Amino acid sequence: MNINALLNLNGKRLVLASASPRRAYLLELVGFDFEVLVSDLDEHNEEYTMPEVHVLELSQKKAWKVAETIKDGLIVGADTIVVLDKQILGKPAGVDEAAQMLRRLSGRTHTVYTGFTIIEKPGGKIASDYDRTEVRFRHLSQQEITEYVKTRNSLDKAGAYGIQDQGALFVSGVNGCFYNVMGFPVTKFYETLRRFLV
């Protein structure tokens, strides 16, 4: 199924403003034709108290950063965070922080938020939305945490785990969109883009 033809992009190129290989994989998986232009936005100085605001603001800033370099196209920015006890857990700074995050998530339920933004150039039309998914972890042993952080899979992921890699062994239940936990809610994005193009 050719999603670009189905949606009638009117010849506009679709640009993913993200360095995440998981987001690119998911867009490819459902049949989008797109290119990647990485936003160089410094996320470390960006933090908002409400998770919805955090992911929406950052997805917009990432999309606009790339949109400034493009004359014509549809630019997509996204941001994912993990929330536990009303605290935002982003990407860990190193293996020690990754292990600390996993110890906090062990045996508990956390929420994953992903926000995305679509910007149309040259018109400047914009749409943003987000999705949230609850993820339940089983109790993890210290050895499991130590072995997992050794793989370094945790370092580029919010909450220090990937549900699509060995981190899947930590998850005992998911309530909501599975792909949102991977970093991109493809169904909500498709529905939003379809309305956006009308």
Give the helix/strand (H/E) hosting 23: helix 21-29
Q: 174 φ, ψ to 5°?
A: -135, 130
* Active-site entry in 40, 42, 79, 85: 79
Of the chain, the end-to-end C-alpha distance in Å amounts to: 20
**Number of C-beta neighbours around residue 82 at 10 A:** 24
Per the annotation, the verdict on 129 as an active-site residue is: no
CA angle 185, 167, 95 (to 5 degrees): 110
| DSSP track, 81-127 | EEEETTEEE---SSHHHHHHHHHHHTTSEEEEEEEEEEEEETT--EE
Provide the token pair at 96.
């020690």
Catalytic residues: 79
